C-alpha cells in the first residue's frame, strides 16, 4: 500500500540554523510528492511539490528533491527564521488511479527561537 | 479570489446527535475532498468527488458518515449519531482535478463531541 513516514517532532532550532525534516514513502507506481505547511491558527497550504524522480521543488527558501532510489523527499532550508515555526506535512498522491487523494505523514512541528 | 470556505468553524455537540459540516470550494474547481485531522492520527482521507462521477467513499470510517455535493459545488459532510471518537478537525480541499493539480484547503471545522 501507500504510506508516508516523516521524522517525529517537535524540532526546535535557533534562528539561522539549517533545517532537515526527513520524509520517506512507500508507493506503487510513480507518485507525486508534496510538502504542506500549517502555520499557527491557519489552514494547510502547499509549500512545494515534485511530480517525478529527480525533480526539485522549492519555495520560500525550502527545497526537497524527489529521490526514487531512496524513496525519499526530505525537506531542507539553509537558514530558518522565527516565521518558519509551523507544522510540516509530507504527502504523496498515487497517480496510478483516478483518485487524487493525498496520503499523509503525521506532521513535524518546528519551533524556531530567536 | 476567494479560497475554500468551511462552516461552522467550531461545532460542539452531544454524543448521539447528528451534525452537518459545509464546504464551499473554489469556483471552477471540479474536484473536492474531505479529510479528517485527529490528534495522534494525522490526516486521513474520507471522500472524494470529481465532476459528475460517482464519489470515492473508500475513506469513510463507518456508515454513520455520508457526504453529498450539490450542483457540482457545495458539499455537506454529515455524521449521524456522533461518537466521541469523531472529535477531530474536518478539512475540505478542492482542485481543478487534473493529474498534477494542487489541492487548496479550507480552514477546517473543529468538531467536539461531548
B18-23 mean pLDDT: 98
- Enter the C-alpha cell of residue B102: 494542487
Chain B hits for A42, CB-CB cut-off 8 Å, are 107
Chains A–B, number of C-beta pairs less than 8 Å apart = 56
At A16-34, the pLDDT tens digits run 999 999 999 999 888 999 9
At B71-110, the pLDDT tens digits run 879 999 999 999 999 999 999 999 987 766 789 999 999 9
Q: Which of A79, A48, A78, A84 is nearest to A66 (CA)?
A: A48
Contact call for B35 and A102, based on CB within 8 A: yes
Q: Which of B48, B100, B104 sits opposite A32 (nearest CB)?
A: B100
Contact call for B97 and A100, based on CB within 8 A: yes
Q: Is the dihedral of CA B85, B87, B89, B91 positive or negative?
A: positive
B48–chain A Cβ distance below 8 A for any pair: yes
Cβ atoms of B104 and B3 within 8 Å: the answer is: yes
A51–chain B Cβ distance below 8 A for any pair: yes
The Cα-based distances of B73 to B51, B52, B91, B94 in angstroms read 9, 11, 16, 10
Q: What is the DSSP letter of A72?
A: B
B25–chain A Cβ distance below 8 A for any pair: no
Answer yes or no: is pLDDT of B1 > 60.
no
Contacts of A65 (CB under 8 A, 6+ apart): A50, A54, A55, A56, A57, A73, A74
B48, B53, B103: best to mutate for the A interface, most A CBs within 10 A: B103
Amino acid at each position: 500500500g501507500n504510506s508516508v513516514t516523516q521524522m517525529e517532532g517537535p524540532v526546535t532550532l535557533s534562528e539561522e540554523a539549517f533545517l532537515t525534516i526527513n520524509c520517506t514513502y512507500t508507493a506503487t507506481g510513480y507518485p507525486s510528492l508534496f510538502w504542506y505547511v500549517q502555520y499557527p491558527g491557519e489552514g494547510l497550504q502547499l509549500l512545494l511539490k515534485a511530480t517525478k524522480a529527480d525533480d526539485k521543488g522549492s519555495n520560500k527558501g525550502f527545497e526537497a528533491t524527489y529521490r526514487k532510489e531512496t524513496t525519499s523527499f526530505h525537506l531542507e532550508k539553509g537558514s530558518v527564521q522565527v516565521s518558519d515555526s509551523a507544522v510540516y506535512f509530507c504527502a504523496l498522491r498515487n497517480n496510478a488511479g483516478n483518485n487524487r487523494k493525498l496520503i499523509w505523514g503525521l506532521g513535524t512541528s518546528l519551533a524556531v527561537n530567536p | 479570489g476567494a479560497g475554500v470556505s468551511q462552516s461552522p468553524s467550531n461545532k460542539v455537540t452531544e454524543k448521539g446527535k447528528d451534525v452537518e459540516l459545509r464546504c464551499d470550494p473554489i469556483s471552477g474547481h471540479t474536484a473536492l475532498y474531505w479529510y479528517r485531522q485527529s490528534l495522534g492520527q494525522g490526516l486521513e482521507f474520507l471522500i472524494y468527488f470529481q465532476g459528475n462521477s460517482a464519489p470515492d467513499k473508500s475513506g469513510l470510517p463507518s456508515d454513520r458518515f455520508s457526504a453529498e455535493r450539490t450542483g457540482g459545488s457545495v458539499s455537506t459532510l454529515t455524521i449521524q449519531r456522533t461518537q466521541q471518537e469523531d472529535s477531530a478537525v474536518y478539512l475540505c480541499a478542492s482542485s481543478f482535478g487534473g493529474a498534477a493539480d494542487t489541492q487548496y484547503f479550507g480552514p477546517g471545522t473543529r468538531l467536539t463531541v461531548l
